Protein backbone atom coordinates (compact mmCIF):
# COMPACT_ATOMS: atom_id res chain seq x y z
CA UNK A 1 0.00 0.00 0.00
CA UNK A 2 2.95 2.31 0.71
CA UNK A 3 4.09 2.10 -2.88
CA UNK A 4 0.53 2.63 -4.02
CA UNK A 5 0.29 5.87 -2.03
CA UNK A 6 3.64 7.06 -3.38
CA UNK A 7 2.46 6.53 -6.94
CA UNK A 8 -0.77 8.37 -6.24
CA UNK A 9 1.02 11.31 -4.59
CA UNK A 10 3.37 11.60 -7.58
CA UNK A 11 0.50 11.45 -10.06
CA UNK A 12 -1.39 14.17 -8.18
CA UNK A 13 1.68 16.41 -7.85
CA UNK A 14 2.34 16.15 -11.59
CA UNK A 15 -1.33 16.87 -12.22
CA UNK A 16 -1.25 19.98 -10.04
CA UNK A 17 1.77 21.31 -11.92
CA UNK A 18 -0.04 20.99 -15.25
CA UNK A 19 -3.20 22.47 -13.75
CA UNK A 20 -1.25 25.55 -12.63
CA UNK A 21 -0.03 26.08 -16.19
CA UNK A 22 -3.59 25.88 -17.50
CA UNK A 23 -4.82 28.27 -14.80
CA UNK A 24 -2.08 30.81 -15.61
CA UNK A 25 -2.89 30.64 -19.31
CA UNK A 26 -6.59 31.37 -18.81
CA UNK A 27 -5.90 34.02 -16.17
CA UNK A 28 -3.90 35.88 -18.82
CA UNK A 29 -6.72 35.49 -21.33
CA UNK A 30 -9.50 36.38 -18.88
CA UNK A 31 -11.34 33.14 -19.70
CA UNK A 32 -13.62 31.66 -17.03
CA UNK A 33 -13.02 27.90 -16.83
CA UNK A 34 -15.57 25.63 -15.17
CA UNK A 35 -15.12 21.93 -14.39
CA UNK A 36 -18.53 20.23 -14.41
CA UNK A 37 -18.77 17.05 -12.35
CA UNK A 38 -21.73 14.75 -11.73
CA UNK A 39 -23.09 11.22 -11.91
CA UNK A 40 -23.80 9.86 -15.36
CA UNK A 41 -27.10 11.17 -16.62
CA UNK A 42 -27.63 14.12 -14.31
CA UNK A 43 -27.83 16.40 -17.32
CA UNK A 44 -24.46 18.12 -17.70
CA UNK A 45 -24.47 18.10 -21.49
CA UNK A 46 -28.11 19.16 -21.65
CA UNK A 47 -27.36 22.07 -19.29
CA UNK A 48 -24.43 23.06 -21.52
CA UNK A 49 -26.59 22.90 -24.64
CA UNK A 50 -29.13 25.23 -23.05
CA UNK A 51 -26.32 27.51 -21.84
CA UNK A 52 -24.69 27.70 -25.25
CA UNK A 53 -28.02 28.52 -26.89
CA UNK A 54 -28.42 31.50 -24.55
CA UNK A 55 -24.85 32.80 -24.51
CA UNK A 56 -23.31 32.14 -27.89
CA UNK A 57 -24.47 35.42 -29.46
CA UNK A 58 -22.71 37.49 -26.82
CA UNK A 59 -19.73 35.39 -25.71
CA UNK A 60 -16.97 33.25 -27.16
CA UNK A 61 -17.56 29.73 -25.88
CA UNK A 62 -15.60 26.50 -25.97
CA UNK A 63 -16.03 23.05 -24.49
CA UNK A 64 -13.92 20.03 -23.62
CA UNK A 65 -15.89 16.85 -23.09
CA UNK A 66 -14.62 13.87 -21.11
CA UNK A 67 -16.01 10.40 -21.64
CA UNK A 68 -14.83 6.83 -21.43
CA UNK A 69 -16.17 6.10 -24.90
CA UNK A 70 -18.17 7.80 -27.72
CA UNK A 71 -17.77 11.24 -29.31
CA UNK A 72 -21.43 11.95 -28.70
CA UNK A 73 -21.24 14.82 -26.21
CA UNK A 74 -18.73 16.94 -28.13
CA UNK A 75 -20.82 16.41 -31.25
CA UNK A 76 -23.93 17.69 -29.44
CA UNK A 77 -22.10 20.94 -28.69
CA UNK A 78 -20.52 21.24 -32.15
CA UNK A 79 -24.05 20.97 -33.50
CA UNK A 80 -24.64 24.30 -31.74
CA UNK A 81 -21.69 25.81 -33.58
CA UNK A 82 -19.20 26.09 -30.78
CA UNK A 83 -15.76 24.48 -30.83
CA UNK A 84 -15.76 21.33 -28.70
CA UNK A 85 -13.08 18.72 -28.19
CA UNK A 86 -13.80 15.18 -26.99
CA UNK A 87 -11.30 13.47 -24.70
CA UNK A 88 -11.78 9.70 -24.55
CA UNK A 89 -10.24 8.32 -21.37
CA UNK A 90 -10.36 4.64 -22.35
CA UNK A 91 -11.33 3.32 -18.96
CA UNK A 92 -10.29 6.12 -16.63
CA UNK A 93 -12.97 7.54 -14.37
CA UNK A 94 -11.88 11.19 -14.51
CA UNK A 95 -10.11 13.76 -16.66
CA UNK A 96 -6.63 14.88 -15.67
CA UNK A 97 -4.78 18.13 -16.35
CA UNK A 98 -2.44 16.52 -18.88
CA UNK A 99 -5.38 15.47 -21.03
CA UNK A 100 -6.82 18.98 -20.87
CA UNK A 101 -3.41 20.47 -21.66
CA UNK A 102 -3.03 18.17 -24.69
CA UNK A 103 -6.56 18.96 -25.84
CA UNK A 104 -5.78 22.68 -25.70
CA UNK A 105 -2.70 22.10 -27.89
CA UNK A 106 -4.79 20.26 -30.41
CA UNK A 107 -7.94 22.33 -30.71
CA UNK A 108 -6.48 25.89 -30.49
CA UNK A 109 -9.66 27.56 -29.31
CA UNK A 110 -8.47 31.15 -29.74
CA UNK A 111 -9.59 33.71 -27.14
CA UNK A 112 -12.62 32.54 -25.14
CA UNK A 113 -14.90 34.06 -22.54
CA UNK A 114 -16.03 30.71 -21.16
CA UNK A 115 -14.45 27.28 -21.33
CA UNK A 116 -16.67 24.48 -20.06
CA UNK A 117 -14.89 21.26 -19.16
CA UNK A 118 -17.38 18.44 -18.75
CA UNK A 119 -15.77 15.69 -16.73
CA UNK A 120 -16.40 11.93 -17.00
CA UNK A 121 -19.73 10.99 -15.37
CA UNK A 122 -18.60 10.16 -11.86
CA UNK A 123 -19.20 11.73 -8.44
CA UNK A 124 -15.98 10.42 -6.93
CA UNK A 125 -12.79 10.19 -9.01
CA UNK A 126 -12.82 13.66 -10.62
CA UNK A 127 -12.76 15.35 -7.21
CA UNK A 128 -8.99 15.05 -6.65
CA UNK A 129 -7.87 16.19 -10.10
CA UNK A 130 -7.46 19.93 -10.50
CA UNK A 131 -7.90 20.81 -14.18
CA UNK A 132 -6.89 24.45 -13.81
CA UNK A 133 -10.52 25.55 -13.48
CA UNK A 134 -11.82 28.65 -11.71
CA UNK A 135 -14.49 26.56 -10.02
CA UNK A 136 -15.76 23.04 -9.82
CA UNK A 137 -19.50 22.79 -10.46
CA UNK A 138 -21.24 19.69 -9.15
CA UNK A 139 -24.53 18.81 -10.85
CA UNK A 140 -27.15 16.71 -9.03
CA UNK A 141 -30.49 15.88 -10.60
CA UNK A 142 -33.53 15.82 -8.34
CA UNK A 143 -34.15 12.24 -9.46
CA UNK A 144 -30.92 11.06 -7.81
CA UNK A 145 -32.26 11.69 -4.32
CA UNK A 146 -31.67 14.17 -1.52
CA UNK A 147 -29.16 12.02 0.39
CA UNK A 148 -26.34 12.49 -2.10
CA UNK A 149 -24.24 15.35 -0.64
CA UNK A 150 -23.57 13.42 2.57
CA UNK A 151 -22.96 10.20 0.61
CA UNK A 152 -20.42 11.90 -1.69
CA UNK A 153 -19.08 14.58 0.65
CA UNK A 154 -15.74 15.26 -1.05
CA UNK A 155 -17.16 16.63 -4.27
CA UNK A 156 -19.83 18.70 -2.53
CA UNK A 157 -17.09 20.21 -0.32
CA UNK A 158 -14.85 20.89 -3.33
CA UNK A 159 -17.48 22.47 -5.60
CA UNK A 160 -18.11 26.18 -5.29
CA UNK A 161 -21.43 25.73 -7.10
CA UNK A 162 -23.99 22.95 -6.78
CA UNK A 163 -26.47 22.90 -9.65
CA UNK A 164 -29.67 21.03 -8.84
CA UNK A 165 -30.90 19.90 -12.26
CA UNK A 166 -34.10 18.48 -13.77
CA UNK A 167 -36.17 20.51 -11.29
CA UNK A 168 -39.19 20.06 -13.59
CA UNK A 169 -39.28 16.44 -12.32
CA UNK A 170 -39.63 17.54 -8.67
CA UNK A 171 -43.37 16.74 -8.52
CA UNK A 172 -42.54 13.12 -9.46
CA UNK A 173 -39.89 12.59 -6.78
CA UNK A 174 -39.56 12.73 -3.01
CA UNK A 175 -36.58 15.07 -3.26
CA UNK A 176 -36.51 17.57 -0.36
CA UNK A 177 -34.65 20.69 -1.45
CA UNK A 178 -34.19 21.90 2.13
CA UNK A 179 -32.47 18.63 3.03
CA UNK A 180 -29.94 19.14 0.22
CA UNK A 181 -29.43 22.79 1.12
CA UNK A 182 -28.63 21.83 4.70
CA UNK A 183 -26.14 19.13 3.64
CA UNK A 184 -24.38 21.40 1.15
CA UNK A 185 -24.25 24.21 3.72
CA UNK A 186 -22.54 21.95 6.23
CA UNK A 187 -20.02 20.63 3.66
CA UNK A 188 -19.31 23.94 1.95
CA UNK A 189 -20.56 26.95 3.93
CA UNK A 190 -19.73 29.43 1.15
CA UNK A 191 -21.15 27.20 -1.61
CA UNK A 192 -24.01 28.32 -3.81
CA UNK A 193 -26.95 26.22 -4.89
CA UNK A 194 -28.58 26.96 -8.24
CA UNK A 195 -31.81 25.17 -9.11
CA UNK A 196 -32.27 24.58 -12.83
CA UNK A 197 -34.44 22.94 -15.41
CA UNK A 198 -33.95 22.83 -19.15
CA UNK A 199 -37.61 21.90 -19.62
CA UNK A 200 -39.94 24.46 -18.10
CA UNK A 201 -39.61 26.26 -14.77
CA UNK A 202 -37.40 27.44 -13.16
CA UNK A 203 -35.27 27.46 -16.33
CA UNK A 204 -31.57 28.28 -16.13
CA UNK A 205 -31.62 32.01 -15.39
CA UNK A 206 -29.84 31.74 -11.99
CA UNK A 207 -27.11 29.67 -13.62
CA UNK A 208 -26.69 32.18 -16.45
CA UNK A 209 -26.59 35.04 -13.95
CA UNK A 210 -23.88 33.22 -12.00
CA UNK A 211 -21.81 32.71 -15.16
CA UNK A 212 -21.92 36.36 -16.15
CA UNK A 213 -21.19 37.52 -12.62
CA UNK A 214 -18.24 35.12 -12.24
CA UNK A 215 -16.78 36.20 -15.58
CA UNK A 216 -17.12 39.88 -14.66
CA UNK A 217 -15.44 39.24 -11.33
CA UNK A 218 -12.55 37.39 -12.95
CA UNK A 219 -12.04 40.29 -15.38
CA UNK A 220 -12.15 42.80 -12.52
CA UNK A 221 -9.48 40.80 -10.65
CA UNK A 222 -7.34 40.70 -13.77
CA UNK A 223 -7.46 44.49 -14.11
CA UNK A 224 -6.83 45.05 -10.39
CA UNK B 1 3.32 4.48 -15.60
CA UNK B 2 4.94 1.00 -15.68
CA UNK B 3 5.05 0.88 -11.92
CA UNK B 4 1.46 2.09 -11.79
CA UNK B 5 0.34 -0.81 -14.00
CA UNK B 6 2.30 -3.31 -11.90
CA UNK B 7 0.61 -2.09 -8.75
CA UNK B 8 -2.79 -2.32 -10.39
CA UNK B 9 -2.14 -5.84 -11.71
CA UNK B 10 -1.04 -6.97 -8.23
CA UNK B 11 -4.08 -5.39 -6.59
CA UNK B 12 -6.43 -7.08 -9.06
CA UNK B 13 -4.72 -10.48 -8.72
CA UNK B 14 -5.03 -10.32 -4.94
CA UNK B 15 -8.66 -9.24 -5.33
CA UNK B 16 -9.42 -12.19 -7.60
CA UNK B 17 -7.93 -14.62 -5.09
CA UNK B 18 -10.22 -13.31 -2.35
CA UNK B 19 -13.19 -13.31 -4.70
CA UNK B 20 -12.63 -16.98 -5.49
CA UNK B 21 -12.75 -17.79 -1.76
CA UNK B 22 -16.03 -15.93 -1.42
CA UNK B 23 -17.45 -17.66 -4.48
CA UNK B 24 -16.46 -21.12 -3.16
CA UNK B 25 -18.04 -20.37 0.21
CA UNK B 26 -21.39 -19.37 -1.28
CA UNK B 27 -21.32 -22.20 -3.81
CA UNK B 28 -21.13 -24.61 -0.88
CA UNK B 29 -24.01 -22.85 0.85
CA UNK B 30 -26.16 -22.52 -2.28
CA UNK B 31 -26.48 -18.76 -1.77
CA UNK B 32 -27.08 -16.58 -4.82
CA UNK B 33 -24.82 -13.52 -4.63
CA UNK B 34 -25.54 -10.45 -6.75
CA UNK B 35 -23.29 -7.41 -7.14
CA UNK B 36 -25.44 -4.35 -7.90
CA UNK B 37 -23.68 -1.54 -9.75
CA UNK B 38 -25.00 1.80 -10.96
CA UNK B 39 -24.61 5.57 -10.91
CA UNK B 40 -25.49 7.31 -7.68
CA UNK B 41 -29.24 7.72 -7.40
CA UNK B 42 -30.42 5.18 -9.95
CA UNK B 43 -32.42 3.43 -7.26
CA UNK B 44 -30.40 0.39 -6.13
CA UNK B 45 -31.40 0.65 -2.48
CA UNK B 46 -35.03 1.36 -3.34
CA UNK B 47 -35.07 -1.72 -5.60
CA UNK B 48 -33.61 -3.78 -2.76
CA UNK B 49 -36.19 -2.45 -0.30
CA UNK B 50 -39.00 -3.50 -2.65
CA UNK B 51 -37.30 -6.87 -3.25
CA UNK B 52 -36.88 -7.55 0.47
CA UNK B 53 -40.52 -6.69 1.13
CA UNK B 54 -41.60 -9.29 -1.42
CA UNK B 55 -39.11 -12.07 -0.63
CA UNK B 56 -38.39 -11.96 3.08
CA UNK B 57 -41.26 -14.27 4.08
CA UNK B 58 -40.00 -17.07 1.87
CA UNK B 59 -36.24 -16.60 1.71
CA UNK B 60 -33.28 -15.86 3.97
CA UNK B 61 -31.87 -12.54 2.80
CA UNK B 62 -28.76 -10.55 3.59
CA UNK B 63 -27.19 -7.35 2.28
CA UNK B 64 -23.82 -5.68 2.18
CA UNK B 65 -23.92 -1.99 1.35
CA UNK B 66 -20.99 -0.04 -0.02
CA UNK B 67 -20.73 3.71 0.34
CA UNK B 68 -18.06 6.36 0.66
CA UNK B 69 -19.78 7.81 3.71
CA UNK B 70 -22.98 7.38 5.81
CA UNK B 71 -24.60 4.22 7.23
CA UNK B 72 -27.89 5.21 5.66
CA UNK B 73 -28.37 2.42 3.11
CA UNK B 74 -27.68 -0.49 5.48
CA UNK B 75 -30.06 1.13 7.96
CA UNK B 76 -32.81 1.29 5.33
CA UNK B 77 -32.52 -2.49 4.88
CA UNK B 78 -32.20 -3.23 8.60
CA UNK B 79 -35.45 -1.32 9.01
CA UNK B 80 -37.00 -4.13 6.95
CA UNK B 81 -35.64 -6.71 9.39
CA UNK B 82 -32.90 -8.24 7.31
CA UNK B 83 -29.25 -8.36 8.36
CA UNK B 84 -27.28 -5.68 6.52
CA UNK B 85 -23.68 -4.60 6.89
CA UNK B 86 -22.38 -1.21 5.78
CA UNK B 87 -18.89 -0.95 4.32
CA UNK B 88 -17.55 2.61 4.28
CA UNK B 89 -14.80 2.95 1.71
CA UNK B 90 -13.50 6.33 2.86
CA UNK B 91 -12.84 7.74 -0.55
CA UNK B 92 -12.61 4.62 -2.71
CA UNK B 93 -14.94 4.44 -5.69
CA UNK B 94 -15.71 0.70 -5.51
CA UNK B 95 -15.92 -2.25 -3.14
CA UNK B 96 -13.19 -4.89 -3.26
CA UNK B 97 -13.25 -8.57 -2.33
CA UNK B 98 -11.18 -8.04 0.80
CA UNK B 99 -13.77 -5.63 2.19
CA UNK B 100 -16.55 -8.12 1.43
CA UNK B 101 -14.52 -10.93 3.00
CA UNK B 102 -13.95 -8.86 6.16
CA UNK B 103 -17.61 -7.90 6.30
CA UNK B 104 -18.58 -11.59 6.14
CA UNK B 105 -16.27 -12.32 9.07
CA UNK B 106 -17.90 -9.59 11.08
CA UNK B 107 -21.58 -10.01 10.45
CA UNK B 108 -21.86 -13.84 10.34
CA UNK B 109 -25.02 -13.96 8.29
CA UNK B 110 -25.74 -17.67 8.77
CA UNK B 111 -27.16 -19.59 5.80
CA UNK B 112 -28.71 -17.33 3.18
CA UNK B 113 -30.68 -17.80 0.00
CA UNK B 114 -29.78 -14.39 -1.41
CA UNK B 115 -26.93 -12.04 -0.62
CA UNK B 116 -27.24 -8.62 -2.25
CA UNK B 117 -24.04 -6.62 -2.45
CA UNK B 118 -24.78 -3.01 -3.30
CA UNK B 119 -21.63 -1.41 -4.66
CA UNK B 120 -20.56 2.24 -4.33
CA UNK B 121 -22.56 4.47 -6.69
CA UNK B 122 -20.29 4.49 -9.72
CA UNK B 123 -20.61 3.14 -13.27
CA UNK B 124 -16.87 2.77 -13.82
CA UNK B 125 -14.59 1.66 -10.97
CA UNK B 126 -16.62 -1.32 -9.63
CA UNK B 127 -16.44 -3.07 -13.02
CA UNK B 128 -12.94 -4.52 -12.57
CA UNK B 129 -13.39 -5.83 -9.02
CA UNK B 130 -14.83 -9.33 -8.77
CA UNK B 131 -16.56 -9.68 -5.39
CA UNK B 132 -17.25 -13.40 -5.72
CA UNK B 133 -20.76 -12.76 -7.06
CA UNK B 134 -22.79 -15.04 -9.30
CA UNK B 135 -23.70 -12.09 -11.48
CA UNK B 136 -23.14 -8.39 -11.78
CA UNK B 137 -26.39 -6.45 -12.12
CA UNK B 138 -26.15 -2.98 -13.65
CA UNK B 139 -28.99 -0.62 -12.81
CA UNK B 140 -29.81 2.31 -15.11
CA UNK B 141 -32.69 4.67 -14.40
CA UNK B 142 -34.68 5.96 -17.37
CA UNK B 143 -33.88 9.49 -16.22
CA UNK B 144 -30.16 8.98 -16.90
CA UNK B 145 -30.68 8.80 -20.64
CA UNK B 146 -30.56 6.15 -23.34
CA UNK B 147 -26.97 6.82 -24.40
CA UNK B 148 -25.40 5.27 -21.31
CA UNK B 149 -24.53 1.68 -22.34
CA UNK B 150 -22.25 2.91 -25.14
CA UNK B 151 -20.79 5.61 -22.89
CA UNK B 152 -19.98 3.11 -20.12
CA UNK B 153 -19.44 -0.04 -22.19
CA UNK B 154 -17.33 -2.04 -19.72
CA UNK B 155 -20.01 -2.41 -17.08
CA UNK B 156 -22.77 -3.16 -19.60
CA UNK B 157 -20.53 -5.87 -21.09
CA UNK B 158 -19.71 -7.32 -17.66
CA UNK B 159 -23.24 -7.38 -16.26
CA UNK B 160 -25.39 -10.41 -16.96
CA UNK B 161 -28.49 -8.39 -16.04
CA UNK B 162 -29.35 -4.79 -16.84
CA UNK B 163 -32.19 -3.45 -14.71
CA UNK B 164 -33.87 -0.39 -16.20
CA UNK B 165 -35.29 1.37 -13.16
CA UNK B 166 -37.78 4.18 -12.46
CA UNK B 167 -39.82 3.15 -15.51
CA UNK B 168 -42.79 5.06 -14.04
CA UNK B 169 -40.91 8.23 -15.06
CA UNK B 170 -40.74 7.19 -18.73
CA UNK B 171 -43.53 9.58 -19.80
CA UNK B 172 -41.44 12.49 -18.45
CA UNK B 173 -38.24 11.59 -20.32
CA UNK B 174 -37.04 11.09 -23.88
CA UNK B 175 -35.62 7.68 -23.01
CA UNK B 176 -35.93 5.23 -25.93
CA UNK B 177 -36.03 1.70 -24.60
CA UNK B 178 -35.24 0.19 -28.01
CA UNK B 179 -32.07 2.25 -28.23
CA UNK B 180 -30.87 0.84 -24.90
CA UNK B 181 -31.86 -2.70 -25.85
CA UNK B 182 -29.80 -2.44 -29.04
CA UNK B 183 -26.74 -1.08 -27.21
CA UNK B 184 -26.90 -3.74 -24.50
CA UNK B 185 -27.39 -6.47 -27.11
CA UNK B 186 -24.27 -5.38 -28.92
CA UNK B 187 -22.17 -5.18 -25.73
CA UNK B 188 -23.52 -8.34 -24.10
CA UNK B 189 -25.42 -10.59 -26.52
CA UNK B 190 -26.56 -12.99 -23.77
CA UNK B 191 -27.49 -10.19 -21.35
CA UNK B 192 -31.01 -9.76 -20.06
CA UNK B 193 -32.86 -6.49 -19.65
CA UNK B 194 -35.46 -6.20 -16.89
CA UNK B 195 -37.63 -3.10 -16.77
CA UNK B 196 -38.72 -2.14 -13.26
CA UNK B 197 -40.51 0.47 -11.24
CA UNK B 198 -41.01 0.57 -7.50
CA UNK B 199 -43.82 3.08 -7.95
CA UNK B 200 -46.58 1.74 -10.18
CA UNK B 201 -46.24 -0.19 -13.42
CA UNK B 202 -44.47 -2.36 -14.47
CA UNK B 203 -43.49 -3.14 -10.88
CA UNK B 204 -40.65 -5.53 -10.15
CA UNK B 205 -42.16 -8.88 -11.12
CA UNK B 206 -39.64 -9.66 -13.90
CA UNK B 207 -36.80 -8.95 -11.50
CA UNK B 208 -38.31 -11.20 -8.81
CA UNK B 209 -38.86 -13.94 -11.39
CA UNK B 210 -35.22 -13.67 -12.44
CA UNK B 211 -34.05 -13.95 -8.83
CA UNK B 212 -36.06 -17.08 -8.12
CA UNK B 213 -35.04 -18.65 -11.42
CA UNK B 214 -31.34 -17.88 -10.87
CA UNK B 215 -31.44 -19.28 -7.34
CA UNK B 216 -33.15 -22.47 -8.54
CA UNK B 217 -30.55 -22.86 -11.28
CA UNK B 218 -27.68 -22.42 -8.85
CA UNK B 219 -29.18 -25.08 -6.57
CA UNK B 220 -29.66 -27.45 -9.54
CA UNK B 221 -26.00 -26.97 -10.51
CA UNK B 222 -24.95 -27.67 -6.95
CA UNK B 223 -26.80 -30.99 -6.89
CA UNK B 224 -25.56 -31.99 -10.34
Q: Determine what percent of chain B is predicted with pLDDT higher than 70.
A: 98
Which residues in A lie closer than 8 A to residue B119 (C-beta atoms)? none
Q: How far apart are CA A22 and CA A33, in angstroms?
A: 10
User: How close, in Å, is residue A171 to chain B by CA atoms?
Assistant: 11
Q: Considering only the beta carbons, identify the residue of B69, B124, B140 that sits closest to A153.
A: B69
Dihedral, CA of residue B56, residue B59, residue B64 and residue B66, to nearest 10: -60
B168 to chain A: closest CA residue: A172
SS3 assignment, position B2: helix
Which residues in A lie closer than 8 A to residue B76 (C-beta atoms)? none
Q: Which helix (H) or strand (E) holds A203?
A: none
pLDDT at B222: 83
pLDDT at A2: 53
Instruction: Decide if A68 and B153 are in contact by the 8 Å CB cutoff.
Output: yes
Confidence of residue A223 (pLDDT cuts 50, 70, 90): confident
State how far the alpha carbon of B168 is from the alpha carbons of A140, B38, B172, B205, in Å.
20, 18, 9, 14
Taking 70 as the threshold, does the pLDDT of residue B36 lie above it?
Answer: yes
- A45-65 pLDDT, tens digit each: 999 999 999 999 999 999 999
Q: Which helix (H) or strand (E) holds A39?
A: none
- A159-187 pLDDT, tens digit each: 999 999 999 999 999 999 999 999 999 99
- B145-196 pLDDT, tens digit each: 999 999 999 999 999 999 999 999 999 999 999 999 999 999 999 999 999 9
SS3 assignment, position A16: helix
User: How close, in Å, is residue A68 to chain B by CA atoms?
Assistant: 6
Instruction: Decide if B143 and A4 are in contact by the 8 Å CB cutoff.
Output: no
With b meaning 16 or more CB within 10 Å and e meaning fewer, what string describes B7-40?
Answer: beeebeeebeebbeebbeebeebebbbbbbbbbb
B126 to chain A: closest CA residue: A93
Check if the beta carbon of residue B204 is closer than 8 Å to that of residue B47. yes
Which residues in A lie closer than 8 A to residue B150 (C-beta atoms)? 69-70, 72
Instruction: Decide if B147 and A68 are in contact by the 8 Å CB cutoff.
Output: no
Q: Kindly report the number of other CB atoms within 10 A of residue B128's CB atom.
A: 17
A/B interface, count of CB pairs below 8 Å: 115
pLDDT at A8: 86
Q: Considering only the beta carbons, identify the residue of A7, A121, A140 that sits closest to B123.
A: A121
pLDDT at B2: 53
Q: How far apart are CA B44 and CA B38, in angstroms?
A: 7
Residues of A engaging B, defined by a Cβ cutoff of 8 Å: 3-4, 7, 11, 39-42, 67-70, 72, 91, 93, 120-125, 140-141, 143-145, 147-148, 150-154, 166, 168-169, 172
Q: Which helix (H) or strand (E) holds A146?
A: none
What is the interface pTM, i.e. ipTM, of the complex? 0.92
Identify from B4, B40, B121, B154 which residue to disrupt to test chain A contact, counting A C-beta atoms within 10 A and taking the largest count: B40
More reliable by pLDDT, B109 or A8: B109
Nearest partner of B197 among B23, B16, B47, judged by Cα = B47
Check if the beta carbon of residue B211 is closer than 8 Å to that of residue B32. yes
CATH code (residue A119): 3.40.50.300
Taking 90 as the threshold, does the pLDDT of residue B3 lie above it?
Answer: no
- B100-158 pLDDT, tens digit each: 999 999 999 999 999 999 999 999 999 999 999 999 999 999 999 999 999 999 999 99
Which residues in A lie closer than 8 A to residue B152 (C-beta atoms)? 40, 68-69, 121
pLDDT at B209: 98
Interior angle at CA B109, CA B42 and CA B70, nearest 5: 40
Instruction: Decide if A153 and B3 are in contact by the 8 Å CB cutoff.
Output: no
SS3 assignment, position B141: strand
- Strand B61-67's sheet: what is its strand order? B84-88, B61-67, B114-118, B32-38, B135-141, B161-165, B192-195
Q: How far apart are CA A108 and CA A119, in angstroms?
A: 19
More reliable by pLDDT, B126 or A5: B126
Q: Which of left, alpha, beta for A118 (phi over 0: left; psi -120 to 50: alpha)?
A: beta
Q: Considering only the beta carbons, identify the residue of A7, A41, A67 that sits closest to B39.
A: A41
pLDDT at A1: 47
Q: Which long-range contacts does B184-188 make (Cβ < 8 Å, 24+ apart)?
A: B184/B149, B184/B156, B187/B149, B187/B150, B187/B153, B187/B156, B187/B157, B188/B156, B188/B157, B188/B158, B188/B159, B188/B160, B188/B162
Q: Considering only the beta carbons, identify the residue of A11, A42, A122 that sits closest to B124.
A: A122
Overall number of domains in chain B: 1
Owning domain of residue A107? 2-223
Nearest partner of B91 among A129, A133, A109, judged by Cα = A129
pLDDT at B26: 97
Q: Determine what percent of chain B is predicted with pLDDT higher than 90.
A: 94
Q: How far apart are CA A133 and CA A116, in angstroms?
A: 9
Amino acid sequence: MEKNLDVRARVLAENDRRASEIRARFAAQGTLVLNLISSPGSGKTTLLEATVAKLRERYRLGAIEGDIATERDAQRLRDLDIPAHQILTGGACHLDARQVHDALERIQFGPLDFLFVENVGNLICPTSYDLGEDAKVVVLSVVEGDDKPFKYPAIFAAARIAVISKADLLPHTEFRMEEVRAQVRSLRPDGRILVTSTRGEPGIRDWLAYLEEALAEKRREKRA
